[in-house]
Amino acid sequence: MEDKSKGRLAAFTSGSLMGLVSIFVNRLSFLPTQTIVSLRGIFGFFVLLILILSMKKGYYLSAMLKKFALFIFLIGLSASFTIFFYFKSIQMTNPGTAAFLLYTGPVWAVIFMWLFLKRVPKREDILSFIIAVIGIAFLTEPWTIDINDYARSNLYFGLFYGILSGLCLGIYNTLKIQFFSQWENSKNSTKLGNMNVVMISMAALVCLVNFFTFAYPGVKYYDDLGSNDWVAALLMGIIPTALAFSLINYGLQKDYAGDVIIFSYSEPVVGSIITAFQNDIMPWNLLLGGILIIFANLLIVMKKRIRKRIKQCNVAQ
């Protein structure tokens, strides 16, 4: 399997694992948002740290901090506030509206990379994102929000928080793309040649920043957790955090950013499927939204064949 295909598969798997986060968040919903974010960060960090130390690659962490401490801090901070603003938006609007605004993040990432990294998206990429965003809209149904059910100020703040979550997600992905580019051009890339360990180390450090960002307001509620809650927090640190963060890092490093990011749209599909099973229904909007997102992904995968077919048609004419 070529690198691009590996990157896309990694991004798709990462998105699918991240889609499971709602299971753990619902289990820990009695805790403040800051506490849930801090738990996700600290358990994700320790799981990845154990993995890194078991490979005897702990020096990767110190090398990354020595060379790219500011980069890592900014990436971790953008990830922390993506989660925080997303949860705040859910509380003040509804899950569908919040999810729709969050998943404008990959579109923002493509725009940021176009403006600041000079990575011009191809027409197929733009079309795929438009189709995917329409699919997300059908999945989440943001138009179902009822203004009469909310205080006007809360609604406006909720929409504002949702927009911020999407912007932070876009910044997060853009910063990681730039980090991998600078790492590969640095002396460290030859000295520390195992890129897989670099990506795991990056995920670990981002988790650590997540923890410290909300440690002060979050840790004081740890006493409220029972044994089953701690197990849920640990699983949240392993599945939609440690594994998912490492895989999306792998995908961003292996594939062209405009291509690979769209594959992370598997997250809202998985989240919606979980909700459907919990409610014992399979609504039409889930089927239609999922089909559109899958089609957008297929358009990216098959774009070379499409271009080739168009060229053949032009020659024939």
pLDDT at residue number 226: 93
**CA 308 to each of CA 297, 303, 304, 305: distance values in angstroms, whole numbers, following the listed order:** 18, 8, 6, 5
For 101-155, how does the pLDDT look when each residue is reduced to its tens digit (9 = 90+)?
787 787 788 788 888 877 777 777 777 778 777 877 776 676 666 656 555 557 7
Does any domain span residue 304?
A: no
Average pLDDT value for the chain: 78
52: tokens are 């890194």
CA 297 to chain centre: 16
CB 105 within 8 A of CB 168: yes
Does any domain span residue 315?
A: no
In angstroms, rounded to a whole number, what is the distance separating the alpha carbons of residues 210 and 221? 16
CB 258 within 8 A of CB 303: no
81: tokens are 């506030």
For 69-105, how does the pLDDT look when each residue is reduced to its tens digit (9 = 90+)?
898 999 999 989 998 888 788 777 766 667 777 877 8
Residues of the chain short of pLDDT 50, as ranges, are 257
Does any domain span residue 35?
A: yes
Residues 6+ apart with CB under 8 A from 212: 41
In angstroms, rounded to a whole number, what is the distance separating the alpha carbons of residues 298 and 296? 5
H, E, C per residue of the chain: CCHHHHHHHHHHHHHHHHCCHHHHHHHCCCCCHHHHHHHHHHHHHHHHHHHHHHCCCCHHHHHHHHHHHHHHHHHHHHHHHHHHHHHHHHHHCCHHHHHHHHCCHHHHHHHHHHHHCCCCCCHHHHHHHHHHHHHHHHHHCHHHCCHHHCCHHHHHHHHHHHHHHHHHHHHHHHHHHHHHHHHHHCCHHHHCCCHHHHHHHHHHHHHHHHHHHCHHHHHHHHHHCCHHHHHHHHHHHHHHHHHHHHHHHHHHHHCCHHHHHHHHHHHHHHHHHHHHHHHCCCCHHHHHHHHHHHHHHHHHHCHHHHHHHHHHHHHHC
Domain coverage including residue 158: 3-122+146-266
In angstroms, rounded to a whole number, what is the distance separating the alpha carbons of residues 96 and 289? 12
Backbone CA torsion sign across 295, 176, 251, 200: negative
Does any domain span residue 55?
A: yes
In angstroms, rounded to a whole number, what is the distance separating the alpha carbons of residues 202 and 196? 10
pLDDT at residue number 311: 57
Q: What is the chain's length?
A: 317
pLDDT at residue number 130: 80
pLDDT at residue number 221: 94
Does any domain span residue 141?
A: no
CB 11 within 8 A of CB 248: yes
Does any domain span residue 118?
A: yes
pLDDT at residue number 225: 94
pLDDT at residue number 136: 72
In this structure, the number of other CB atoms found within 10 A of the CB of residue 220 comes to: 12
In angstroms, rounded to a whole number, what is the distance separating the alpha carbons of residues 257 and 252? 6
Does any domain span residue 117?
A: yes
pLDDT at residue number 73: 93
CA proximity to 177, closest of 2, 11, 5: 11
CA proximity to 267, closest of 100, 145, 150, 121: 100
Number of domains in the chain: 1
Does any domain span residue 133?
A: no
